[in-house]
Amino acid sequence: MEAGRLSVGEFAFPGPLRDQLVAAVLDGTKTTTTGLLDDYARDGEPLPRPGDREVVIDSAGEPVALIEIVMVRVVRVGDVDLAHALGEGEGYASVADWRAGHEDYWHSDAMREYVGDPAFTVDDDTSAVAVEFRLAAGEDLDLAALLREARAQADAP
């Protein structure tokens, strides 16, 4: 992915968790996110890079914000640090809290269905993508137009 690429940003699956995460992005408490490295390959998506932008969508698929990627690290799940966990904006007080919350998600029926493995699990050695981002400023942003552009880029060969 070339720096500055525009894409669609989706946090979790549509539903209450996505709504909670999007609210945390909008109020500035969520500045980090974690995905599994294998998910990028599964989805055929390149890893984000600093300078990339994402149009964040809510559970209804509507654009609600523009974020800019600040830092990306591929780390073992067992090596996620406290600063990253706190930046998730979900009220975690420790890395153990972060791990428990993420394992609940990663070991959920929805995630196991998504990966096509009813026994899917994550352990210390699972590779994760730790992303830090910032909310892009500008009340004059045309989020609908940016979302159309991001989707067009995703559909381009």
| 60, 147 Cβ separation under 8 angstroms | no
The pTM for the full model equals 0.90
Give the angle 48-17-137 at the CA atoms, nearest 5°.
Answer: 50
Can you give the pLDDT of all 157 residues of the chain as single tens digits? 445 899 999 999 999 999 999 999 999 999 999 999 999 999 989 999 999 999 999 999 999 999 999 999 999 999 999 999 999 999 999 999 999 999 999 999 999 999 999 999 999 999 999 999 999 976 678 888 898 888 888 887 7
Rounded to an integer, what distance in angstroms lies between the CA atom of residue 42 and that of residue 25? 25
